[in-house]
Amino acid sequence: MLWTLKPLNVNLYPGHRIFYNVIIGKTMNKQEFIDHIANQHGCTKKEAEKAIDMVTSSVIDAMEQGNEISLVGFGNFGINKIAARRGHNPRTGLALDIPAYNKPRFKVGKKLKDACNK
């Protein structure tokens, strides 16, 4: 699945345009992905589902412990620490404190990037 930004023909004010995301290709849900794995690797759907569940739960557990995961060619899972900051409610204009939090990130590896751009 590829994402691309397409401009709308709307100008808020001179020099600014609104963009929206367009998905190129089909989004595969979990069941379709299970079917794809089972067909591609000649395993049962139960085994494919178990493999997906093992990988996703392991990634979540490792990142919960603060670890980063590097899968060469595929990509890196990591955590960005977002500092606490001051914000405001746009509706009321009241100031509010936004607490610090950890934001998960994924950086695409070269092999995956090249495969998407064939």
Question: Looking at per-residue confidence, does 8 or 75 come out higher?
Answer: 75
Query: For residues 12 and 21, what is the distance between their CA atoms, to the nearest angstrom?
Result: 18
Q: Domain count of the chain?
A: 1
Instruction: Give the pLDDT of residue 40.
Output: 92
Residue 25 confidence (pLDDT) above 80: no
**Could you list the residue range(s) of the whole structural domain that residue 96 is in?**
73-118
Domain membership of residue 32 (yes or no) is no
Domain membership of residue 108 (yes or no) is yes
Residue 12 confidence (pLDDT) above 60: no
Counting residues of the chain whose pLDDT is more than 70, the rounded percentage is 79
Residue 2 confidence (pLDDT) above 50: no
Domain membership of residue 96 (yes or no) is yes
Domain membership of residue 89 (yes or no) is yes
- 48-105 pLDDT, tens digit per residue, is 999 999 999 999 999 999 999 999 999 999 999 999 999 999 899 899 999 999 999 9
Domain membership of residue 67 (yes or no) is no
Instruction: Give the pLDDT of residue 27.
Output: 81
Query: For residues 60 and 43, what is the distance between their CA atoms, to the nearest angstrom?
Result: 25
Which CATH number do you get for residue 89? 4.10.520.10
Residue 73 Cα to chain centre, angstroms: 17
Domain membership of residue 29 (yes or no) is no
Instruction: List Cβ neighbours of 79 (8 Å cut-off, separation of 6 or more).
Output: 63, 66, 68, 102, 103, 104, 105
